[in-house]
């Protein structure tokens, strides 16, 4: 399966989804004008990935900030990973910086509503 890749912009995150390795990353800022339209291609890609997933699937989320409409799209992505739990070992790493309580709380909130393991990863500023 082909990879899905979008480079980051000041308003949109970097999206890297490897069908070959099952390693995915969302990083940067997510404040697109239209979150549904922005995330639609990667959600469609995930719908294809779900039909023949890798044995291991890892999503790393390294967001500095995301808006409310982006959070709904993140839920959609995580729900698709949730549907894989009988076909693939699924893990999510939610990265947040030491001083960023909002991102930490957001990760904790997702842990409560999504039924895949979400590991909270503290990133110390260097």
Cα 116–63–105 angle (5° rounding)?
Answer: 60
pLDDT at 20: 94
pTM above 0.75, yes or no: yes
Model confidence over 56-109: pLDDT tens digits?
999 999 999 999 999 999 999 999 999 998 899 999 999 999 999 999 999 999
pLDDT at 85: 81
CATH of the domain at 100: 3.30.750
Domain count, the chain: 1
The order of strands in the sheet holding 118-123 is 4-6, 14-17, 23-30, 56-66, 89-97, 118-123
pLDDT at 124: 83
pLDDT at 126: 60
Domain containing 93 equals 4-123
């Amino acid at each position: 399966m082909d990879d899905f890749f979008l480079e980051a912009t000041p308003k949109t995150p970097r999206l890297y989804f490897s069908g070959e390795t099952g390693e995915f990353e969302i990083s940067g800022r997510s404040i697109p004008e239209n979150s549904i339209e922005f995330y639609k291609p990667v959600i469609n890609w995930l719908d294809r990935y779900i039909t023949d997933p890798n044995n291991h699937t890892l999503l790393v989320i390294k967001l500095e900030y995301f808006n409310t409409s982006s959070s709904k799209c993140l839920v959609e992505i995580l729900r698709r990973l949730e549907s894989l739990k009988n076909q693939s070992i699924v893990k999510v790493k939610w990265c947040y910086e030491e001083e960023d309580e909002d991102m930490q709380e957001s990760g904790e909130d997702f842990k409560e509503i999504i039924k895949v393991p979400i590991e909270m990863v503290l990133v110390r500023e260097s």
